[in-house]
Structure 1
């Protein structure tokens, strides 16, 4: 059998999913130690590659420049002209990513069956249900190689010299069913301020800045609380997440980044299934879920039962704050 020389991995399109794919990249490297491993990342989250496991060449895919199936094919053809690949691993489930793989012309094109992709892949597999997304990625490699592979930790390189004993608070999420309602966010942060003297840093993207500012303005005591929402880009946020010991957050991309950097991540789960999408490294995470409503867990982006996510509103503030206090004490003694 001819030795595999060149492998290309199409990485996921979302921040959290891309973080979770680091275990897959490491596993491919372990299984093919003599091959060059290149990656494709979406423009906007490609900065993560600087913190990724070892890889060679990187291709940055701009969806605005290469839109639709035609754009994906054109982008793939440009890669094909530069290098011949033995294997193309397709982690996104989209049809366009499989079209891209076809254009690249790799001898083996491997991915999960979805959106009529099977005709474009040489090896299409069915995705197992009820396993974590990190394990879904690894299982794709397992099914292709027909052998069991150990799942490695999800890790990003943390270049921070020392972690400050500060608490980062992220009340945001892309979906309203995963975002802390304003009154709940104010209540939790107020109680947190009363019980700890540690610096509290609020974070959020540009489009989340107005919401975070409303919460910040409603706080009873702003002493030693910094609002950084809208004041950092994603790369600066990553540096901030890596420089603090603890993060209190909703289910979101930054939660995965913090966990992968070694920052203890306390995650408040509303919608979403923590068994599939929680930050993966269990020693560095705390999962908080109400678990008292018949609709839990759902995967809807909006709360279709109550209008506002009662699964988050009904969480016990004291229990949330006590978890933060416990982690801070543990970090202080370590």
Structure 2
């Protein structure tokens, strides 16, 4: 089973998931120490590869260039023309990723039984329930090798400047059910400003800039509050997250990046299951959840019960600020 010489791993499509999959790459390397391990990453989050566990080479998949199932198949065929693989681990659950895997010509294609794609895989397995996503990835390798595997830590490797005494605040998320409502964000940041001396740095992608700007402009006191939304590329964001002392954030990709860089990450959970998607390294992460609504924990991207996600709206600002102060005083 562990005689494979050339291994290809299709990494997940989302920033946080790709961070969490770094443990899987480590685990594969441990099981196949003499193999050449190559990676496929989606364009847009491929910058993480520079900070990933050591690998031989990588391929960047651009969905705009390789559209639909035909594009996925073409991409796999192009890889097959360059190198022959013994093993292909398919971490995304999508049908298109299995089409790509099949087209790569790998002798063995390994993935979970999702989206009726098992016929494209040579080895398909049932995903276990109620385990963390990092462990889901590693369990795929464990089921394939039939070896009990210790789950490695989640780490991104980079040279960082000396840590600053600053607090990163991320109020954003791809899903509106995980994004802090504007009024809640304004009130929370105002409370934070009154309670701590540290510089507060707001972050956000270019498409989140308008939302963050509206929150920043409504703040009562902007002293030592920097609005970096839309002003950093992903590599610069990584350095910013890794060189700050604390990150207060919603359930989002940047939370996993900060956690993997060793920054203490306090995550506000609304929708989503923290047992499955919270930052994996517990030594430098904390989660805060309301835990009072019968609809918690839903997995929907849009709140179906309230105009705004009340699971976030009703979070105690006092509790959040006290947690930030506790981490500042006990790093």
Structure 2 residue aligned with 1:159: 159
State the partner residue of 1:172.
Answer: 172
Q: Structure 1 residues 223 and 2, CA, compared in 2 at 3 Å: closer, same or farther?
A: closer
- Give per-residue Cα distances to partners, 1:127-163, cap 9 Å, x unaligned: 0111111010000000000121001111001311321
1:142 aligned partner: 142
Is 1:129 the counterpart of 2:129 in the alignment? yes
Secondary structure in 1 matching 2:330: helix
Relative to the length of structure 1, the TM-score reads 0.98
User: Contact (CA 8 Å) 1:23, 1:153: kept in 2 or not?
Assistant: yes
Contact 1:159 1:242 in 2 (8 A): no
Distance 1:3 1:190 in 2: 58
Q: Can you list the C-alpha shifts for 1:237-261, whole angstroms capped at 9, x where unaligned?
A: 1111011110000000000100001
Alpha-carbon distance, 1:307 to partner: 2.0
Deviation string, structure 1 residues 252-288 (Cα, Å, up to 9, x no partner):
0000100001010000000000011111111110100
Structure 2 unmatched ranges of 5 or more: none
Corresponding residue number in structure 1 for 2:311: 311
Alpha-carbon RMSD: 0.9
The alpha carbon displacement at 1:99 in A equals 0.6
Q: Which residue of 2 aligns with 1:245?
A: 245
Contact 2:10 2:90 in 1 (8 A): yes
Native 8 Å contact 2:2 2:32 kept in 1: no
Q: State the 1:2 CA deviation.
A: 8.6
Give the gaps of 5 or more residues in structure 1: none
CA contact (8 A) 1:260 1:281 kept: yes
**In the alignment, does 2:106 pair up with 1:109?**
no
Q: Is contact 1:69-1:99 (8 Å) kept?
A: yes
Check whether the contact 2:2–2:145 (CA below 8 A) recurs between aligned residues: no
Say whether 1:73 aligns with 2:73.
yes
By how many angstroms is 1:3 displaced?
A: 2.7
Q: Distance in 2 between matches of 1:4 and 1:143?
A: 16
Name the CA distance, whole Å, in 1 between partners of 2:128 and 2:17.
17
The residue that corresponds to 1:297 in the other structure is 297
Give the secondary structure class of the aligned counterpart of 1:300.
coil
1:286-321, Cα deviation, whole Å (9 max, x unpaired): 100000111100001111111211111111101100
Q: Match of 2:38?
A: 38
Q: Is the 8 A contact 2:2 2:31 kept in 1?
A: no
